[in-house]
A and B are shown apart, each in its own frame.
Chain A
Amino acid sequence: EVQLVESGGGLVQPGGSLRVSCAASGFTFSTYAMAWVRQAPGKGLEWVSGVTGSGGRTRYAESVKGRFTVSRDNSKSTLHLQMNSLRAEDTAIYYCAKGIGDGKFVESDYWGQGTLVTVSS
């Protein structure tokens, strides 16, 4: 059974940093693209970042480029999102999502339960 479990969310001050992680199980992690998608309270979905199975290719939304870094540890089946210089508008539930194949950032067939990141003083 495929499982994605996010962790690391919480309250952080503007300008601060936070790393959220996603522990994956039930599939061969290294052969699938992974993505981070966020949803601000009461708002729609916003794609944040994606990474290919090997970790060799990454993509970022313009709103987080230069501040967020996605990485993966295939030996531990874990996905990370390092978030720096956080802003109030980064407040959202952060979901990790598994692509249906390598390089597939749009089509995500499994999602975690999400972890809430709140940026506030």
Chain B
Amino acid sequence: QSVLTQPPSVSAAPGQKVTISCSGSSSNIGNNYVSWYQQFPGTAPKLLIYENDNRPSGIPDRFSGSKSGTSATLGITGLQTGDEADYYCGTWDSSLTVVVFGGGTKLTVL
């Protein structure tokens, strides 16, 4: 049972837009920055978004992040088959004093 809640899976057609939600509480998302990671099978995670809505260099602007209250959202536009991966949200939990991750969301591009 993860502290942050993500949908297990989402799907959309190539070229379309998809959003992945991440729900938490005031002790984590509500008062801390959120990051998003992309992970392909058999490889290490890759930082997509940090501090809610910032993209590291090299990450295309098709990827975006937002936060409102105790929830965060990752948006991906212009979906490509190469975007099929697992996506994780993460943040600091001020009560637990640890980093917490969501359970992950598997994106399928139909």
A joins B in a complex:
yes
Q: Is the CB of A47 within 8 A of B99?
A: yes
Q: How far is the CA of A85 from the CA of B96 in the complex (A)?
A: 23
Q: Is the CB of A45 within 8 A of B104?
A: yes
Q: How far is the CA of A100 from the CA of B35 in the complex (A)?
A: 11
**Interface hit among B9-17, B18-26, B69-77, B87-95:** B87-95
Q: How large is the interface on B (under 10, 10 to 19, 20 to 34, 35 or more residues)?
A: 20 to 34
Q: Total contacts A to B, CB within 8 angstroms?
A: 63
Q: Which residues of A contact B88 (CB under 8 A)?
A: 44-45
| Option from A46, A95, A97, A107 in Cβ contact (under 8 Å) with B101 | A46
Looking at the assembled complex, report how far the CB atom of A111 sits from the nearest CB atom of chain B, in whole angstroms: 4
Interface residues of A, dominant DSSP: strand
Q: Is the CB of B98 within 8 A of A60?
A: yes
Q: Is the CB of B45 within 8 A of A106?
A: no
Return the chain B residue nearest A113 by Cβ.
B44
Chain B residues engaging chain A, CB cutoff 8 angstroms:
2, 32-33, 35, 37, 39, 44-47, 50-51, 56, 86, 88, 90-92, 96-104
Chain A residues engaging chain B, CB cutoff 8 angstroms:
35, 37, 44-47, 50, 59-62, 95, 97, 100, 105-109, 111-114
